[in-house]
């Protein structure tokens, strides 16, 4: 890594860190309004540290200003990957100060879980958490879902010519409009409109189910952020069971399903291309797999005799299957119930849908329906090519915002990323079994981590071995950034180390 590259990365990463640190003003205001004095101090301290560090990074890379042309793809990836790691350490400071986490590792785990919209929790005693910290936790999923880089790009970074490279580094590749700043702003607009609409709907629902106006509003904000970002956090230990409400479950379901869709799809539909909703390959893929998985899960759970009516079956089985498939992670049963009541078939169905995940360029995780669709169509077209005469040259297409040719390169790229996810999943499962957990439990938890889902079968807990906590953090991170950024960052770091080593020897 040349000095120039380090400065470029430092400059932009600094802005991303600064931007995110400024968001801490929201929990500060929440603490003030709730008269929570210690959390007020906790967040002031955290904000001070984070803003200071962000500014230092920008200043270290100050020569980059006005030199936007020198940004390359590797820089974009590295900035995304690096900012996420540094922000993980910074955003966990409030957790540590609150005393609700047993260790700094646990705090980092929760932050990475939030950023990646996973939703696994190591924070203790959620029921007595301050409003400020609960606001922060849920905000993290909202920010992480949109993307911290996207956030910085839209509002802070002045130059936008190199912007696209950062944008892709954070796992999005859809260009809604030709310039990146415009695309980022559109993504934020859609999210904010839904945020307003969703919070109001949930607030009303909350009042209806018996919450008092103030908590109904707070819970509405938390649960909307958690649903839209497909995060899966909830302000109480019982997750969505706290509300004891079919209405609340359905409303969150609507928002987490919509939240799992591609932003390009939202944009297309909002521009009037409503047909896209049914023609899009990802929607079709999701509808088919969700439908099949639901049917199979219901069949498997029927045999237990636990849920005798359609409403119970829908609330306890369909909710969780769809929550898993969209990689949300809101759970309507206790973690241990998956282990004790769902049986191997039920667990396997969940593992599969968690790995398939949601749509590309959305807050969802997993392989992504687009890749599954592409690979599936790739197999079909290969079979067709085999069977058809050698002289015919058919071009196979699929529809994703527009008609796209099913090229070999595309199929290969999709398949390779799916393989990367499978490896991540495999290692996670292996690690779990090595640490003494059963195969079913290990695979469930590994799938939840790899797909950034957040449902737990009971393995994730403060007493989990540290090596598993560290692996899960890495897996959530790699899964969310879809590998490339992290590989780029590692690659650049290794090159940099090699250069320094050579210089010392020569």
Per CB under 8 A, the list member of 6, 29, 55, 415 interacting with other proteins is 55
- Interacting stretch for other proteins, rule CB under 8 A, among 43-51, 82-90, 144-152, 383-391? 43-51
**Closest CB to other proteins among 373 and 378?**
373
Cα–Cα distance, 107 to 105 (Å, whole number)? 5
Contacts of 93 (CB under 8 A, 6+ apart): 42, 45, 46, 49, 50, 107
Least distance between other proteins and beta carbon 427 (Å): 29
Least distance between other proteins and beta carbon 5 (Å): 20
Q: Are 396 and 311 in contact (CB under 8 A)?
A: no
Site for other proteins, residues 311 to 370, rule: CB under 8 A: 311-318, 322, 332-334, 336-337, 340-341
Per CB under 8 A, the list member of 33, 37, 384, 490 interacting with other proteins is 37
**Closest CB to other proteins among 91 and 473?**
91
**Closest CB to other proteins among 18 and 153?**
18
Cα–Cα distance, 22 to 303 (Å, whole number)? 52
Cα–Cα distance, 285 to 201 (Å, whole number)? 29
Site for other proteins, residues 75 to 134, rule: CB under 8 A: 97, 127-131
Q: What is the 3-class SS of 10-37, one letter each residue? A: HHHHHHHHHHHHHCCHHHHHHHHHHCCH
Is residue 287 at the binding interface for other proteins, with CB under 8 A as the rule?
yes
Q: Rounded to whole angstroms, what are the CA distances from 462 to 17, 335, 343?
A: 28, 15, 25
Is residue 291 at the binding interface for other proteins, with CB under 8 A as the rule?
yes
Q: What is the 3-class SS of 37-105, one letter each residue? A: HHHHHHHHHHHHHHHHHHHHHHHHCHHHCCCHHHCCHHHHHHHHHHHHHHHHHHHCHHHHHHCCCCCHH
Least distance between other proteins and beta carbon 472 (Å): 22
Structure tokens at 100: 């609700």
- Interacting stretch for other proteins, rule CB under 8 A, among 225-233, 256-264, 427-435, 492-500? 256-264
Is residue 274 at the binding interface for other proteins, with CB under 8 A as the rule?
yes
Least distance between other proteins and beta carbon 167 (Å): 20
Phi and psi at 400, nearest 5°, equal -145, 90
Cα–Cα distance, 206 to 213 (Å, whole number)? 8
Least distance between other proteins and beta carbon 338 (Å): 11
**Closest CB to other proteins among 158 and 391?**
158
Task: Calculate Rg over the CA atoms of the chain.
Answer: 23
Least distance between other proteins and beta carbon 277 (Å): 5
Q: Is 147 left (phi over 0), alpha (psi -120 to 50) or beta?
A: left
Structure tokens at 427: 């290692």
Is residue 308 at the binding interface for other proteins, with CB under 8 A as the rule?
yes
Q: Which residues pair with 405 in a beta bridge?
A: 397
Q: Tell me how crowded residue 212 is: count the other CB atoms within 10 A of its CB.
A: 9
Site for other proteins, residues 150 to 179, rule: CB under 8 A: none
Cα–Cα distance, 260 to 362 (Å, whole number)? 6
Per CB under 8 A, the list member of 2, 25, 33, 65 interacting with other proteins is 65
Is residue 298 at the binding interface for other proteins, with CB under 8 A as the rule?
yes
Least distance between other proteins and beta carbon 133 (Å): 8
Least distance between other proteins and beta carbon 273 (Å): 9
The number of residues in the chain equals 506
Q: Which residue has the tokens 């109480």?
A: 236
Site for other proteins, residues 388 to 447, rule: CB under 8 A: none
Site for other proteins, residues 484 to 503, rule: CB under 8 A: none
Least distance between other proteins and beta carbon 389 (Å): 41
Cα–Cα distance, 356 to 350 (Å, whole number)? 10
**Closest CB to other proteins among 277 and 501?**
277
- Interacting stretch for other proteins, rule CB under 8 A, among 143-151, 295-303, 475-483, 484-492? 295-303
Q: Under rule CB under 8 A, how many of the chain's residues touch other proteins?
A: 87
Least distance between other proteins and beta carbon 38 (Å): 6
**Closest CB to other proteins among 340 and 497?**
340
Per CB under 8 A, the list member of 309, 390, 391, 393 interacting with other proteins is 309
Cα–Cα distance, 366 to 471 (Å, whole number)? 17
Site for other proteins, residues 192 to 251, rule: CB under 8 A: 192-194, 197, 209-212, 215, 236-238, 241-244, 246, 250
């Amino acid at each position: 890594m040349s000095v120039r590259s380090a400065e470029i990365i430092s400059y932009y990463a600094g802005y991303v860190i600064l931007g995110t640190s400024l968001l801490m003003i929201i929990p500060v205001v929440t603490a003030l309004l709730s008269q929570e004095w210690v959390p007020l101090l906790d967040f002031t301290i955290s904000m001070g540290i984070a803003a200071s560090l962000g500014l230092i990074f920008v200043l270290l890379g100050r020569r980059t200003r006005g030199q936007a042309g020198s940004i390359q793809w590797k820089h974009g990836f590295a900035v995304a990957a690096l900012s996420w790691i540094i922000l993980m350490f910074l955003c966990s400071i409030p957790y540590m100060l609150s005393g609700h986490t047993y260790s700094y590792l646990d705090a980092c785990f929760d932050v990475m879980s939030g950023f990646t919209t996973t939703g696994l929790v190591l924070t203790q005693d959620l029921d007595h958490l301050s409003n400020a910290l609960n606001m922060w936790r849920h905000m993290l999923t909202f920010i992480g879902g949109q993307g911290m880089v996207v956030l910085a790009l839209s509002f802070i970074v002045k130059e936008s010519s190199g912007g696209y490279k950062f944008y892709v580094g954070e796992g999005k590749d859809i260009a809604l409009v030709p310039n990146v700043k415009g695309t980022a702003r559109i993504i934020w607009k859609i999210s904010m409109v839904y945020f307003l609409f969703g919070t109001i709907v949930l607030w009303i629902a909350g009042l209806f189910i018996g919450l008092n106006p103030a908590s109904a509003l707070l819970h509405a904000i938390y649960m909307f952020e958690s649903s839209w970002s497909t995060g899966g956090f909830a302000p109480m230990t019982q997750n969505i069971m706290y509300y004891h409400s079919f209405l609340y479950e359905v409303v969150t379901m609507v928002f987490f399903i919509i939240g799992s869709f591609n932003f390009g799809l939202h944009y297309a539909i909002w521009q009037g291309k409503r047909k896209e909703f049914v023609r899009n390959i990802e929607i079709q893929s999701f509808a088919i797999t969700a439908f099949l998985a639901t049917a199979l899960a219901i069949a498997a759970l029927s045999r237990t005799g636990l849920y005798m009516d359609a409403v119970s079956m829908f609330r306890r089985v369909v909710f969780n299957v769809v929550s898993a498939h969209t990689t949300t992670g809101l759970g309507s049963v206790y973690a241990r119930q998956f282990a004790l009541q769902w049986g191997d078939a039920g667990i396997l169905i969940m593992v599969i849908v968690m790995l398939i995940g949601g749509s590309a360029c959305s807050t969802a995780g997993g392989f992504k329906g687009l890749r599954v669709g592409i690979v599936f169509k790739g197999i079909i077209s290969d079979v067709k090519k085999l069977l058809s005469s050698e002289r015919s040259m058919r071009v196979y297409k699929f529809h994703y915002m527009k008609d796209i040719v099913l090229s070999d390169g595309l199929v290969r790229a999709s398949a390779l990323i799916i393989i990367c996810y499978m490896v991540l999943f495999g290692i996670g499962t292996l690690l779990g079994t090595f640490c003494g957990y059963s195969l079913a439990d290990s695979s469930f938890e590994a799938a939840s981590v790899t797909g950034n889902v957040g449902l737990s079968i009971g393995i994730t807990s403060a007493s989990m071995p540290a090596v598993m906590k560290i692996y899960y953090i890495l897996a959530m991170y790699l899964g969310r950034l879809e590998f490339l950024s992290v590989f780029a960052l590692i690659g650049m770091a290794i090159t940099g180390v090699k250069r320094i080593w050579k210089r010392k020897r020569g």
